[in-house]
Structure formats: C-alpha cells, structure tokens
Amino acid sequence: MRDVAVIGVGITPFGELWNKSLRNLFTEAALAAIDDSGVDRIQSMYVGCMSSGLFVGQEHLAALAADYLGQRHIPSTRVESACASGGLAMRLGYMEVASGMNDVVLVGGVEKMTDSTGPEATFGLGTAADQEYECYHGITFPGLYALIARAHMEKYGTTREQLAMVAVKNHKNGANNPNAQYPFEITVDGVLKSVMIADPLRILDCSPITDGAAAAILCPVDMAKKLGKPIIKVIGTGHATDTIQLCDRDDPTWLEATYLAAKQAYAMADKKPSDIDFFEVHDCFTIAEICVMEALGLVDKGKGGPAVEAGKTAIEGEFPINPSGGLKSKGHPVGATGIAQVYEIVKQFRGEAEGRQVKNARIAMTQNMGGSGASTVTHIFERE
C-alpha cells in the first residue's frame, strides 16, 4: 500500500442555498478542489451522499456528478452510510490510491436537503435509523439522541449546561468560519431557553438542515512531492459498525463503532489520542460530541461533560474539538460532512484557518458518524 496525500480541497458555503441544485453544489466544491490541487486530470471519483433519492428524487448520482464535472467516462462511485457517507468516500478514495489502482482520485460529499419540506426532511433523515423497528414507532433523530443524552445525564451526572457548552464552544469557533451556516456566537442561557425539540435537547443542541458540498483530491505522496505541494499525509483510517437500533446496545451512551474505528486508525498511524493536535468530530447533537470524545479515548467514560466545562475542547484547550464550528455552527449537509472535516484539517495545517487557527497543529483526526452511531469512519492526517 502506498502513502497517500491530500493535495487539494474545496467547499461551498453551507446553508439554505435556494439558488443551487444538488449538481451545482457538487460541481462547485469539486472544481474548487481540483483548482486548489493544481492537477490537470482526475482518474476516478467517489461521491458520498446519504439520500439524494429521498431529498431530490435523484439516484445514480456518481455518474451525474462526473458528467456535470466534465469528467464523463471516468469511474465514479457513490457511497452511502447515512451521515458518514462523506467519510466513507474519503476512505475508499484512500484505498484506491493506496492500492495503486489509480493515482489521482477526487473524493467528495454533497447533500441538498432544503428542497424537502420539514416533515419530508425529517423522514429522510430518519431512514438512517431502523425504519421497521425505530422510525415506524414514531421516533426521529432528535428523539434517539435525547434518549442517549438522558441516559448519559442519569449515569454520569452530565448536566444540561454542559450539553449547552458544546454548542456555545462550536458557535464561537464557527463565528470565524466564512462557510458556516450560522457564523455567530450563542450563550448557554440562549441554548437553555431555545425551543424544546426532544427533552432534554433543544433546538440549539441540534445541527441544522443544510445544503452544501465539499471535495478533496488525493494522490500518492511521491506525486504530491513532485507537484511541490505541502505534504498532508493520510496516516490512519478506520471504519466500523454497530447495531442499527439504539435499543440493541448494552449501553446507549457508549459509541462502540467510534471506539473501534478510532482504535484501527490509531493503530495504523501508530499514534495515541494525546498525540493528536485537534479533532473534527460528528456533533450532530451536543450529546454526540460528549459521547464521541469518550469513545475516542480523550477522556474516561462519563467525563465528557466536565471536559467541555473545563475548556479542554476549546481551540486553545488540551484537545481542541471542532475548530471549524462543527456540524452545529458550520451546518450539516449530511453526505458532505465527512469531507468538510477533511477540508478543515487541510486549512488548519496550511495555517489558513484565520480566527479559528489551532497553533502548531501537525496531526489531526476526523470522526464521521452515521445514524445513532451504527457507522463510524475515522481518519488521521499528518503534516510533514
């Protein structure tokens, strides 16, 4: 297996983009990534998307995306793992380059969600859970994460305020992200007084419905060196699954797929959690970020809430999480999120994350999760 580098990234603004369609969004991000990388061709591409079928009535997205990108005839593959679709595109692109099957591969993610009305979008997102045994009985994603939150509060004493602090921290970071959907600060009090969605989660605990796309160009490290690009290496990858139903897990507060995917990536990279300078993780709800930091091994089980409260996850903290603003402030176009995490890491490594820069960052990790944690894809990157 060859060493693989990320040599270019592109992203669209995230938000309610009424004047851009699914294909426009993908093409915009992909062209930006190609331009950023300086390559004059791509040989293969992967498109992460959760549900263009349900959101805009379009499957066969990979062929369409290649066509509209002016890359007709190249192999183009769509992958789906709910909200982890983008991370999965990254992993398969990595595999293709590492294996030697192709040299220059584009990995992208996209979701056009706001063309669906509210109930349709909620139904669409719900298809990441078990349709027959969860959704059918009326639960939605805020409900599933509310169950996790309540269990975490009961078991570990996590407070309502600690949940709010996740959102406050991410909005503080996202306020300096020019592509964020909600680039403004919020307060703990504001979160606690926001509209109740699924007790104990309020609207400001939830990531939004978002349109957006992101893309990255991968190639062998040897080629990246010849191109004179800064070397940002993929040094670890992990992918694991868990029960599709939350109720099938021994402990609903523990994200086993995240734990396993992280373990794989740490082992491959020969790194431990304390070696990682910052993290981009899947904060689809505030409680998710707390559970994720426990599963990644940044804190002991149950200690996520106090770690947030102590400022350990802030940009200047012990282990910065989501300098981009995370899904909460940046927005969460589900299929694009995993690649948007890669975008942030490249921007940080290049010192281009103005206002939200993590100092001297050299090693970083992405964690992208599907459903209530039934899929997780992780990657570790190193700047040479």
Query: Annotated catalytic sites, by residue?
Result: 83, 332
CB 74 within 8 A of CB 42: yes
375 binds its own copies (CB under 8 A): yes
For residues 68 and 64, what is the distance between their CA atoms, to the nearest angstrom? 6
Q: Which of 235, 244, 255, 339 binds its own copies (CB under 8 A)?
A: 244
**Span near its own copies by CB under 8 A; candidates 61-69, 187-195, 273-281, 305-313:** 61-69
CB 86 within 8 A of CB 16: no
* 8-state DSSP, 216: E
370 binds its own copies (CB under 8 A): yes
Pick 96 or 283: Cβ nearer its own copies: 96
Q: Which single residue is written with the structure tokens 């599907």?
A: 370
Cβ atoms < 10 Å from Cβ of 362: 15
Pick 59 or 199: Cβ nearer its own copies: 59
The interface with its own copies within residues 18-57 (CB under 8 A) comprises: 21, 23, 50-51, 53-54, 56-57
Positive or negative, the CA dihedral 216, 219, 221, 223 is: negative
Contacts of 127 (CB under 8 A, 6+ apart): 51, 54, 82, 135
CB 4 within 8 A of CB 94: yes
The interface with its own copies within residues 67-126 (CB under 8 A) comprises: 67-68, 72-82, 88, 92, 95-96, 98-101, 123-124
DSSP β-ladder status, 212-220 and 278-280: unpaired
* 8-state DSSP, 119: H
359 binds its own copies (CB under 8 A): no
In the complex, least distance from residue 294 CB atom to its own copies, rounded to whole angstroms: 18
166 binds its own copies (CB under 8 A): no
The interface with its own copies within residues 124-163 (CB under 8 A) comprises: 124, 127-132, 135
Pick 84 or 346: Cβ nearer its own copies: 84
Positive or negative, the CA dihedral 180, 185, 191, 193 is: negative
Pick 100 or 311: Cβ nearer its own copies: 100
> Does a cis peptide bond (omega within 30 degrees of 0) precede residue 323?
no
CA angle 49, 53, 54 (to 5 degrees): 105
Q: Which of 111, 211, 256, 382 binds its own copies (CB under 8 A)?
A: 256
The interface with its own copies within residues 329-358 (CB under 8 A) comprises: none
Pick 4 or 204: Cβ nearer its own copies: 4
In the complex, least distance from residue 160 CB atom to its own copies, rounded to whole angstroms: 29
Residue 170 Ramachandran class (φ > 0 left, ψ -120 to 50 alpha, else beta): alpha
Binding site for its own copies (CB under 8 A): 1, 21, 23, 50-51, 53-54, 56-64, 66-68, 72-82, 88, 92, 95-96, 98-101, 123-124, 127-132, 135, 239-245, 248, 256-257, 260, 370-371, 374-375
